[in-house]
């Protein structure tokens, strides 16, 4: 060790020791002045115990963000007051849930976990009627319900609810906060965890903070990134990408009332919050605890990659973005530890992994799996899927993927170009092919999709469409082609079988369980026609449910096939907490993986992504105890006297 490195290590140890000492001093000062009247003696004891445990971490994180400011300790005191108030407002039932979840921290890894994401209005009309849908959810096996943004938003375009005007008010078309609280209690009684969106990168320009900023009130102008002229925005723009280039160019919007340029990453009416201001962190923590106290058990962190801005960078996935999220996580551990974070990072696979940690986001969408399942359907090859999952699927045993095939959003091809290159695949060319295939521009494609966000400069785009339409059911029905319909149904069940078995929380998107097709009516709505994502934001009607009850209908085969898979998952612990091992199948059309749990059980999964029969060497059965097994879906015993296994077109095998 050199003298310089020794001195650096000593300095580092000194700073860490001093931070720890200073955190203790700060906490002692804060606790001496905290208002104890808002908490009972029992609750105060619980709060203090959690605060003592968590404060050193929280202090260090906040010091990294704001320690250079003269008013750091003022905001720290204010934050602890907010945390105490948030805990005091937590119901007795939710405090009991906190205790329960602390005793079973990996509750989201159970084989009984099955999620659904839906828009309240499209699924049930409003929050009151959604209670009447609970039996439907129970019959399907749903234990986790993600309600898409339901907060107060501007009239007209609101980016599908992601332009929040008031976190504490429900969109009046959906009901009221009291309706949401009542629904949360009903879901809890039914054993269904409520998941809400935490839209914390931006507010709408009609939020009271933004309205005050427009009026020139400096306290709230500092809640956003506002500039007198284009000097700084132009410097930032050199490194920023455009999210919705089909709607507008650039990342800044001129506001005539404020006479300022405002940072607006997504839409001109969505103003990015300024997290370099500790007042913003405290204010958003207060909103977060309000949402937690409604009764949700998970918060989806919307657009988390964008929350920290740094000149000379892309302003995505910055180190301090992670610091911020960890600090929010720490606040929850103190005031509402039953609530977990779900990361929505639709970025490079290596960056996605950085958000997943028990002390950051316990859950994370798995955009890589989603994109490459669609890639494998298009190419009939599983090499890129296999290599990518081998590199990027493994995460902490204390965390879980949220695996999905479709969502409210578009499909972006966020695979790793380096992995693709090793397989002889040019990333840019392959993305172009996939866009062409899934928007029906490639000869022989089975898909009926719509291009979204098409960049007029580069021709790049993303893909929209319902699962059934992208999987070929729409075109097959239009052609009245029996075999194509059969293949489409098998594709739909194939992709669902993967998210149900590979490990994590499988998340269905409302309507996919019935094979709903694209809804093109949005093209006649002035507030929606510019946003092609509405093509797969489809209302769940009584007629759609009724259609799925007819045995001759493709929708019946989808719904019954999916129910069959779900029931199998619920009956076997191996689908829950277990290690996933991605396997070489020695057949480029077959995706293979095994799962092993602590009870000595193994599950072998084989998926044929081709419309033709495929064979695989029986040596793959060596994953099982005696190289024989039972196939759970068909209830057939598996023996391989011929030396190979045969899989029918789009067949899946779950072998134990």
On whether residue 382 sits in a domain, the answer given is yes
* Residue 139 appears among annotated catalytic residues: no
pLDDT of residue 244: 81
pLDDT of residue 16: 61
- Are 87 and 38 within 8 A, CB to CB? no
CATH number for the domain that contains residue 471: 3.20.20.80
pLDDT at 5 exceeding the cut of 60: no
Q: How far apart are CA 342 and CA 354, in angstroms?
A: 13
On whether residue 485 sits in a domain, the answer given is yes
Q: Give the structural domain span for 476.
A: 370-576
* Residue 302 appears among annotated catalytic residues: yes
Average pLDDT over residues 456-462: 82
What predicted TM-score, i.e. pTM, was given to this entire model? 0.95
The better pLDDT of the pair 453, 392 is held by 392
pLDDT of residue 1: 46
Q: How far apart are CA 112 and CA 126, in angstroms?
A: 27
Confidence category of residue 640, pLDDT binned at 50, 70, 90 = confident
pLDDT of residue 394: 98
Q: How far apart are CA 631 and CA 617, in angstroms?
A: 17
pLDDT at 226 exceeding the cut of 50: yes
Q: How far apart are CA 619 and CA 617, in angstroms?
A: 5
Per-residue pLDDT tens digits for 44-71: 999 999 999 999 999 999 999 999 999 9
On whether residue 516 sits in a domain, the answer given is yes
pLDDT of residue 245: 75
On whether residue 43 sits in a domain, the answer given is no
Q: Max CA-CA distance within the chain?
A: 80
pLDDT at 205 exceeding the cut of 70: yes
3 state DSSP class of 596: strand
Per-residue pLDDT tens digits for 316-337: 999 999 999 999 999 999 999 9
Tally of residues, the chain:
656
Average pLDDT over residues 434-458: 92
On whether residue 396 sits in a domain, the answer given is yes
Q: How far apart are CA 447 and CA 52, in angstroms?
A: 56
pLDDT at 359 exceeding the cut of 80: yes
- Pairing of β 298-301 and β 340-343: parallel
The runs of H, that is alpha helices, within 394-449 are 417-422, 427-438
pLDDT of residue 15: 54
Q: What is the 3-state secondary structure (H, E, C) of 283-309?
A: HHHHHHHHHHCCCCCEEEECCHHHCCC
On whether residue 637 sits in a domain, the answer given is no
Number of compact structural domains in the chain: 1
On whether residue 241 sits in a domain, the answer given is no
pLDDT of residue 4: 55
For 580, the token pair is 């996933």
Look-up: residue for tokens 């750091």?
72
Between the two ends of the chain, the Cα-to-Cα distance in Å is: 53
Q: Is the dihedral of CA 264, 268, 270, 271 positive or negative?
A: positive
Confidence category of residue 243, pLDDT binned at 50, 70, 90 = confident
Confidence category of residue 136, pLDDT binned at 50, 70, 90 = very high
pLDDT at 608 exceeding the cut of 90: yes
On whether residue 317 sits in a domain, the answer given is no
Angle between helices 427-438 and 367-379 (to 10 degrees): 70
- From 302, 387, 409, 416, the catalytic residue: 302
pLDDT at 262 exceeding the cut of 70: yes
pLDDT of residue 13: 59
pLDDT of residue 17: 62
pLDDT at 12 exceeding the cut of 80: no
Q: How far apart are CA 403 and CA 569, in angstroms?
A: 15
pLDDT at 11 exceeding the cut of 80: no
pLDDT of residue 625: 80
Percent of the chain residues past pLDDT 90, beyond the cut: 91
pLDDT of residue 3: 46
How far from 136 is each of 108, 130, 540, CA to CA, in Å?
21, 10, 12
Average pLDDT over residues 72-89: 97
3 state DSSP class of 402: strand
Helix and strand element counts for the chain (H, E): 23, 25
- Residue 178: how many CB atoms within 10 A of its CB? 10
pLDDT of residue 642: 78
Look-up: residue for tokens 């449910």?
545
Average pLDDT over residues 615-619: 94
Backbone angles phi, psi at 340, to 5 degrees: -115, 165
- From 344, 360, 409, 512, the catalytic residue: 344
pLDDT of residue 630: 95
């Amino acid at each position: 060790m050199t003298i310089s490195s020794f001195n650096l290590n000593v300095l580092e140890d000194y700073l860490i020791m001093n931070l720890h000492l200073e955190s203790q001093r700060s906490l002692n000062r804060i606790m001496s002045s905290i208002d104890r009247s808002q908490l009972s003696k029992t609750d105060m004891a619980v709060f203090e115990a959690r605060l003592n445990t968590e404060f050193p971490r929280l202090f260090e994180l906040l010091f990294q963000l704001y320690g250079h400011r003269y008013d750091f300790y003022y905001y720290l005191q204010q934050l602890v007051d907010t945390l105490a108030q948030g805990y005091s407002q937590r119901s007795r039932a939710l405090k009991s849930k906190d205790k329960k979840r602390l005793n079973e921290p990996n509750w989201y890894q159970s084989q009984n976990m099955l999620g659904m994401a839906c828009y309240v209005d499209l699924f049930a009309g409003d929050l009151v009627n959604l209670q009447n849908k609970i039996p439907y959810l129970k019959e399907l096996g749903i234990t986790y319900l993600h309600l898409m943004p339901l907060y107060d938003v501007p009239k007209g375009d609101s980016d599908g609810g992601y332009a929040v005007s008031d976190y504490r008010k429900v969109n009046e078309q959906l009901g009221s906060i009291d309706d949401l609280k009542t629904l949360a209690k009903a879901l809890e009684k039914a054993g269904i965890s409520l998941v809400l969106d935490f839209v914390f990168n931006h507010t709408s320009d009609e939020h009271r903070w933004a309205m005050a900023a427009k009026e020139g009130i400096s306290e709230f102008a500092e809640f956003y990134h506002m500039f007198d002229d284009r000097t700084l925005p132009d410097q930032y723009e050199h490194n920023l990408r455009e999210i919705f280039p089909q709607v507008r160019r650039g990342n800044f919007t001129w506001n005539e009332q404020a006479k300022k340029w405002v940072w607006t990453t997504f839409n001109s009416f969505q103003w990015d919050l300024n997290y370099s201001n500790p007042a913003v962190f405290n204010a958003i923590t207060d909103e977060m605890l309000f949402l937690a106290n409604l009764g949700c058990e998970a918060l989806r962190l919307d657009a988390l990659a964008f929350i920290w801005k740094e000149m000379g960078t892309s302003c995505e996935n910055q180190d301090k973005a992670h610091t911020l999220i960890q600090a929010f996580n720490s606040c929850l551990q103190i005031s509402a530890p039953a609530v977990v974070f779900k990361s929505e990072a639709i970025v490079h696979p290596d960056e996605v992994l950085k958000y997943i940690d028990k002390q950051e986001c316990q859950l994370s969408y798995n955009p890589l799996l989603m994109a490459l399942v669609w890639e494998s359907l298009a190419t009939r090859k599983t090499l890129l899927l296999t290599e990518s999952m081998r590199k990027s699927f493994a995460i902490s045993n204390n965390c879980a993927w949220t695996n999905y095939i479709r969502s409210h959003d578009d499909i972006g091809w966020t695979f790793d170009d380096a992995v693709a290159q090793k397989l002889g695949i040019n990333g840019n060319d392959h993305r172009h092919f996939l866009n062409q295939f899934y928007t029906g521009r490639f000869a022989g494609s089975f898909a009926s999709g719509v291009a979204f966000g098409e960049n007029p400069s580069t021709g790049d785009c993303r893909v929209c469409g319902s699962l059934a339409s992208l999987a070929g059911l729409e075109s097959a029905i239009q052609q009245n082609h029996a075999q194509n319909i059969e293949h489409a149904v098998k594709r739909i069940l194939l992709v669902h079988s993967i998210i149900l078995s590979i490990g994590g929380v499988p998340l269905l998107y409302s309507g996919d369980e019935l094979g709903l097709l694209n809804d093109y009516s949005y093209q006649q709505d002035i507030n929606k026609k510019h946003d092609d994502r509405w093509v797969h934001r489809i209302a769940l009607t009584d007629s759609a449910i009724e259609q799925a009850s007819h045995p001759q209908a493709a929708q019946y085969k989808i719904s019954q096939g999916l129910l069959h898979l779900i029931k199998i998952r619920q009956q076997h612990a191996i689908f829950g907490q277990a290690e996933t091992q991605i396997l070489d199948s020695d057949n480029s059309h077959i995706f293979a993986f095994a799962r092993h749990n602590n009870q000595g059980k193994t599950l072998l999964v084989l998926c044929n992504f081709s419309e033709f029969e495929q064979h695989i060497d029986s040596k793959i059965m060596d994953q099982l105890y005696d190289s024989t097994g039972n196939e759970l879906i068909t209830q057939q015993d598996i023996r391989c006297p011929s030396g190979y296994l045969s899989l029918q077109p789009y067949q899946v095998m779950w072998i134990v």
